[in-house]
C-alpha cells in the first residue's frame, strides 16, 4: 500500500483527544541495527538512541549509540504493509548524498536510503498511528508546509514522451513518481502529443484550472519549458499566472540547462544522471523567484525567454546537433567538432550590439524606485511589455541617448546572452550567473580567433575555464539590442530556432517562480 494512503488511514484511528498527547517513550527496533531504540522527534530530525540492555547496569559506549535521520534528507514518513495486518513499521523515505569522489570535490548525487523502525511502544494502534502522524507533521514543517492531508493541490506534470531518446516516460514512472508519492505530492500527468501542445494547453486553459495546481513540472529538456512559459505569456493574465504558478524541471532531455543551473545553485553534483537529485529537490521545493527575459523582434513577434538568446556559431551548432539527438548530451560536442573541422574558415556575422550594463540600470532603478511601468490589468494586450524600464517601445525607436548604453559594431563569431549558469549539464557557460541576480550575461567572441583557440575554449567550458580566455568577452547587463547587418544567420531562443532579425531583450527580474529547495543558494 502507498505510504501516503497508509498514513491517511492510520490517522483516522487517532482519537481527537489524543492528538495533543505525545506518546513517551517511543521504543522499537531499528531495522538493520541490534537492540532496542528510543525515538525522539524534534524540528530537524528523527533521533534514535539505543537503549542499554535491561540486565546491564553499565553505560558502555555502544549502549549510548545514536542515529539521526535528518529532515534535510527526508521527503516523507509513512507506514509500510505488514503482511496484511495493521503495520507497526514506520518508514522514513530518505535520499542521502553520496560521498565526494575526492577531497575538495562536491558530494555526489542523492540515492535512496530507507530508515525502517518497528514500533513496540506504544502498543495500542491509536498510539502507533499518532507516532506516524507526528513524524509526518515534523517533516512537513521542516519544508515550510502546513501539515495535513497530502495532495490538496496536485502538480501539473507535462511530459514529452519523445524526450531523452524516448526515456522520459520511464524516467518519470520509475524515478520521480514514486518519490513524489513518498512526499505526499499528488500530480496530474499530461503527455504532450506534438510540438506546441504545451503552449496551447497553457494559453487556452481557464485561469481557475491552472491555479488549482500547486505547480507546473516539466519532464523533458529545456524546449518544453520554453513552450509552456510562452503559452502563459500569450495570455492577458500572464503576469498573475507567472507569479502564482511556479515551475519545476525534471531533466529528461539532451541539455537540461535550467535543471542543471537550479541544481548547481543548490550545491548539487551534476553527473550525467542527476534525475534522482532533481526529483528530490522538487519534493522539497518551495516557490522561489527567478529572472525571465522579454525578447522583442523587428517583425513584431515577442517571446518569453528563461535560458538564453543565441546568435552565430553556437546557435548553428545547436541547430545542427538536432540530427544527432540519439546521442543525448554528447550531440553538442559532436556538432561543434564537425563545424570546427569543416574546410574553410568559420563564418563571421556583422552585427551591431548594444547593451545597458547592469550597474547603470540598477542605479537608475534606485532613482526611480517609486515609479512602476507595470500595468497588471488583465485587459492589457501586452502585459509583459508594460514591465520594461530601459528599452524603447519598439526597435524602430532609437536607444536612449546619454543613458549609459554601450554600442559596438564588429564582425562576430558568436553572441550569446544567458540567464543561467549552465547551457547544458556539462556546459558551465556563465559561472557568475545566479537564477535571480537581475542580470543577463551578454557574451561574445569577435572574428579573428583561431580554430585552435576556439577548441581550447570549448574544451574548458565544463568547468568555466573559457571565461578566462582573452577572446571571450562578457558584460553583465539588464538589457541589450542586437541588429544583424548581414543577411541570414542562425538564431536560437532557449534552444529553439527563431527568425534572424533585429531584436531587443530586457531582463524581467524575479518575474517567474521556480520550485527549488528551501535552502537553495539563490539570493533573497
* SS3 state of residue 42: coil
Choosing from 169, 222, 426, 436, which is the catalytic residue? 222
For residue 354, how many other CB atoms are within 10 A of its CB?
Answer: 18
Active site residue 222: yes
Task: Determine which helix (DSSP H) or strand (DSSP E) holds 511, and give its type and residue range.
Answer: strand 503-517
Taking the CA atoms of 523, 516, 492 and 457 in sequence, report the sign of the dihedral they define.
positive
Burial class (CB in 10 A: 0-12, 13-18, 19+), 150: buried
Task: Determine which helix (DSSP H) or strand (DSSP E) holds 216, and give its type and residue range.
Answer: strand 215-220
Q: 188 to each of 154, 217, 419, how far by Cα in Å?
A: 7, 10, 29
* SS3 state of residue 382: coil
What are the cell numbers at 113?
536510503
Q: 64 to each of 23, 28, 47, 54, 115, how far by Cα in Å?
A: 22, 15, 12, 14, 19
**Separation between Cα atoms, residue 294 and residue 280, nearest integer Å:** 31
Burial class (CB in 10 A: 0-12, 13-18, 19+), 450: exposed
Burial class (CB in 10 A: 0-12, 13-18, 19+), 502: middle
Cβ atoms of residues 474 and 252 within 8 Å: no
Helix, strand and coil percent figures for the chain, each rounded to 5: 30, 30, 40
Q: Where are the alpha helices (DSSP H) in 234-373?
A: 238-244, 257-265, 275-283, 313-320, 330-341, 358-367
Residues 6+ apart with CB under 8 A from 54: none
Cβ atoms of residues 425 and 450 within 8 Å: no
The β-bridge partners of 434 are none
* SS3 state of residue 350: strand
What are the cell numbers at 271?
553527473
Q: 341 to each of 143, 229, 349, 452, 472, how far by Cα in Å?
A: 51, 37, 19, 11, 21
**Separation between Cα atoms, residue 197 and residue 181, nearest integer Å:** 26
Cβ atoms of residues 158 and 242 within 8 Å: no
Residues 6+ apart with CB under 8 A from 177: 187
**Separation between Cα atoms, residue 214 and residue 155, nearest integer Å:** 5
Q: Which residues are catalytic?
A: 222
Amino acid at each position: 500500500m502507498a505510504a501516503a494512503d497508509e498514513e491517511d488511514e492510520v490517522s483516522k484511528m487517532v482519537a481527537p483527544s489524543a492528538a495533543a498527547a505525545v506518546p513517551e517513550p517511543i521504543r522499537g527496533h531499528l531495522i538493520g541495527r541490534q537492540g532496542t531504540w528510543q525515538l525522539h522527534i524534534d524540528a530537524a530530525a528523527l533521533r534514535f538512541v539505543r537503549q542499554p540492555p535491561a540486565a546491564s547496569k553499565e553505560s558502555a559506549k555502544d549502549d549510548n549509540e545514536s542515529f539521526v535521520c535528518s529532515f534535510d534528507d527526508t521527503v516523507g514518513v509513512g507506514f509500510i504493509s505488514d503482511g496484511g495486518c495493521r503495520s507497526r513499521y514506520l518508514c522514513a523515505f530518505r535520499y542521502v548524498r553520496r560521498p565526494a569522489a575526492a577531497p575538495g570535490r562536491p558530494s555526489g548525487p542523492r540515492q535512496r536510503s530507507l530508515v525502517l523502525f518497528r514500533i513496540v511502544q506504544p502498543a495500542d494502534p491509536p498510539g502507533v498511528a499518532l507516532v506516524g502522524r507526528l513524524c509526518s507533521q515534523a517533516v512537513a514543517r521542516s519544508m515550510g508546509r502546513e501539515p495535513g492531508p497530502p495532495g490538496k493541490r496536485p502538480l501539473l506534470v507535462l511530459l514529452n514522451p519523445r524526450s531523452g531518446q524516448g526515456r522520459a516516460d520511464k524516467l518519470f514512472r520509475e524515478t520521480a513518481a514514486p518519490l513524489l508519492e513518498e512526499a505526499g505530492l499528488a500530480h496530474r500527468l499530461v503527455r504532450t502529443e506534438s510540438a506546441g501542445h504545451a503552449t496551447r494547453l497553457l494559453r487556452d486553459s481557464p485561469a481557475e484550472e491552472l491555479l488549482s495546481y500547486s505547480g507546473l513540472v516539466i519532464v523533458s529538456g529545456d524546449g518544453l519549458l520554453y513552450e509552456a512559459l510562452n503559452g502563459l505569456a500569450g495570455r492577458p493574465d500572464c503576469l498573475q499566472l507567472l507569479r502564482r504558478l511556479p515551475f519545476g524541471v525534471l531533466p529528461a532531455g539532451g541539455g537540461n540547462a535550467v535543471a542543471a543551473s537550479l541544481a548547481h545553485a543548490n550545491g548539487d553534483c551534476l553527473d550525467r544522471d542527476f534525475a534522482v537529485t532533481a526529483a528530490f529537490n522538487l519534493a522539497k521545493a518551495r516557490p522561489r523567484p527567478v529572472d525571465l527575459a522579454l525578447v522583442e523582434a523587428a517583425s513584431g513577434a515577442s517571446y518569453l525567454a528563461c535560458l538564453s538568446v543565441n546568435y552565430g556559431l553556437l546557435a548553428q551548432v545547436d541547430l545542427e546537433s538536432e540530427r544527432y539527438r540519439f546521442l543525448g548530451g554528447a550531440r553538442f560536442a559532436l556538432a561543434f567538432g564537425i563545424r570546427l573541422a569543416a574546410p574553410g574558415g568559420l563564418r563571421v556575422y556583422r552585427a551591431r550590439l548594444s547593451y545597458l550594463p547592469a550597474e547603470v540600470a540598477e542605479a537608475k532603478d534606485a532613482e526611480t524606485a517609486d515609479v512602476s511601468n507595470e500595468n497588471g490589468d488583465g485587459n492589457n494586450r501586452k502585459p509583459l511589455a508594460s514591465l520594461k524600464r530601459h528599452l524603447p517601445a519598439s526597435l524602430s525607436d532609437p536607444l536612449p541617448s546619454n543613458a549609459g548604453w554601450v554600442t559596438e559594431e564588429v564582425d562576430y563569431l558568436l553572441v550569446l546572452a544567458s540567464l543561467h549558469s549552465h547551457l547544458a549539464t556539462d556546459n558551465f557557460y556563465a559561472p557568475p550567473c545566479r537564477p535571480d541576480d537581475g542580470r543577463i550575461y551578454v557574451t561574445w567572441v569577435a572574428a579573428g580567433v583561431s580554430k585552435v583557440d576556439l577548441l581550447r575554449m570549448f574544451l574548458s567550458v565544463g568547468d568555466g575555464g573559457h571565461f578566462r580566455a582573452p577572446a571571450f568577452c562578457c558584460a553583465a547587463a539588464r538589457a541589450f539590442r542586437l541588429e544583424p547587418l548581414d543577411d541570414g544567420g542562425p538564431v536560437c531562443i532557449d534552444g529553439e530556432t527563431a527568425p534572424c532579425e533585429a531584436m531587443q531583450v530586457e531582463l524581467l527580474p524575479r518575474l517567474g517562480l521556480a520550485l527549488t529547495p528551501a535552502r537553495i543558494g539563490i539570493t533573497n
